[in-house]
């Protein structure tokens, strides 16, 4: 029996998830679903609930590791026209979950709106960025978010606003299954000045991160008051390779997937790093990358 009868046009089966991650790693999903509307998304959620099929929500796959075995689940990606909308009203912006973060940054530059330039060079969707409070040395998206529209695991849609909405380092208090859209409060500025800031941030990242490689961004969160990359570097692990996974020589908090790499290679390397840093500094590194297995 096909649990998605009537929705076949938005469902693919036995779908290779490696096509959807920046690492290019991961096995197949039982179902890969691209709802076109909120109503379709609710139908998909209902079918999954009725058939006890686990649900995973995929953004741009830029901060994600997926098991080589794949997932006995439905992986839902909100990348239709409806879910990519971005609407401007003065200094207020409503960006839907599937909108591209980097494109939003550049559009704001063009419109002379300041508040998201700190996100320059961070790949991902708005939904994923809000969920993990994406950011870096220059700031994070949470500073600009005023409210979000959410959907829970039962398909109910609701809103959550500040101060009820709390953003912390690489996390939020959002527990809903789906972020549908986010309302951002920006400030007026001059396009030239904002663009200068964007270029400065981009050059910093270009000089300090292995941008033109297969990676998922920073693997570990920075412990309070210290850089995870510096700890890994001081442990002498730069360049360490297991299978097809190697710790970047440019930035030790990046693990690069080389030809023939498997997810298990990256996970083995993650475990070695955690063990070595714990042994030398008595610090437990916490993952920033998400692992689905």
| Confidence check: pLDDT of 1 > 80 | no
pLDDT for res 29: 98
CB 26 within 8 A of CB 47: no
Instruction: Tell whether 194 and 285 lie within a shared domain.
Output: no
pLDDT for res 39: 98
pLDDT in tens, 52-76: 999 999 999 999 999 999 999 999 9
Instruction: Tell whether 243 and 136 lie within a shared domain.
Output: no
Percentage of the chain surpassing pLDDT 70? Answer: 100
Q: Which helix H or strand E contains 74, and what residues bound it? A: strand 71-77
CATH code, domain carrying 92:
3.30.465.10
pLDDT (mean) for 188-213: 95
CATH code, domain carrying 257:
3.90.78.10
- Of 207, 225, 252, which one is at a domain's C-terminal end? 207
ω into residue 163 within 30 of 0, thus cis?
yes
Pairing of strands 28-33, 92-96: unpaired
Instruction: Tell whether 50 and 152 lie within a shared domain.
Output: no
- Of 18, 47, 77, which one is at a domain's C-terminal end? 77
pLDDT for res 117: 95
d(CA 181, CA 123): 17
Residue 13 lies in a domain: yes
d(CA 269, CA 257): 11
pLDDT in tens, 74-114: 999 999 999 999 999 999 999 999 999 999 999 999 999 99
Q: Mark 80-96 as b/e (b = at least 16 C-beta within 10 Å).
A: bebbbebeeeeeebbbb
Residue 237 lies in a domain: yes
pLDDT for res 127: 98
The number of distinct structural domains making up the chain is: 3
How sure is the predictor about 193, in pLDDT bands with cuts at 50, 70 and 90?
very high
Q: Please identify which residue in the block is written with the tokens 């992986």.
A: 75
pLDDT for res 2: 87
pLDDT in tens, 213-265: 999 999 999 999 999 999 999 999 999 999 999 999 999 999 999 999 999 99
| Confidence check: pLDDT of 180 > 70 | yes
Residue 3 lies in a domain: no
Mean pLDDT estimate for the chain: 97
Task: Write out the two tokens for 148.
Answer: 């979000």
Residue 189 lies in a domain: yes
pTM of the complete model:
0.95
- Of 173, 207, 241, which one is at a domain's C-terminal end? 207
**φ/ψ of residue 287, rounded to 5:** -65, 140
Range of the domain at 198: 84-207
Task: Write out the two tokens for 101.
Answer: 């973060």
């Amino acid at each position: 029996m096909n649990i998605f009868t009537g929705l076949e046009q938005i469902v693919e089966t036995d779908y290779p998830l490696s096509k959807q991650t920046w690492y290019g790693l991961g096995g197949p999903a039982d179902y890969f679903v691209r709802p076109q509307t909120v109503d379709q998304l609710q139908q998909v959620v209902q079918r999954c609930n009725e058939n006890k099929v686990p649900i995973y929500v995929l953004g741009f796959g830029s901060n994600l590791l997926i098991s080589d075995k794949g997932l006995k689940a439905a992986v839902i990606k909100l990348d239709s026209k409806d879910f990519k909308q971005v609407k401007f009203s003065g200094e207020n912006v409503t960006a839907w979950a599937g909108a591209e973060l980097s494109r939003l940054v550049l559009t704001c530059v063009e419109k002379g709106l300041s508040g998201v330039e700190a996100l320059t060079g961070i790949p991902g969707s708005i939904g994923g960025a809000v969920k993990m409070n994406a950011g870096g040395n220059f700031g994070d998206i949470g500073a600009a978010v005023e409210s979000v529209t959410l959907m829970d695991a039962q398909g109910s849609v609701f809103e959550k606003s500040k101060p009820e909405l709390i953003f912390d380092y690489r996390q939020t208090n959002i527990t809903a299954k789906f972020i549908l859209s986010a309302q951002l409060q920006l400030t007026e500025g001059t396009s030239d000045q904002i663009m200068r800031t964007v270029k400065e941030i981009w050059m910093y990242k270009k000089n300090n991160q292995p941008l033109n490689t297969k990676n998922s961004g920073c693997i570990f969160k920075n412990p309070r008051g210290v850089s995870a990359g510096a700890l890994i570097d001081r442990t002498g692990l730069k360049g360490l390779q297991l299978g097809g996974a190697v710790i970047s020589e440019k930035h030790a908090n990046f693990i690069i997937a080389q030809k023939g790499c498997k997810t298990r290679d990256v996970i083995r390397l993650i475990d070695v790093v955690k063990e070595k840093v714990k042994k030398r500094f008595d610090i437990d590194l916490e993952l920033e990358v998400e692992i689905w297995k």
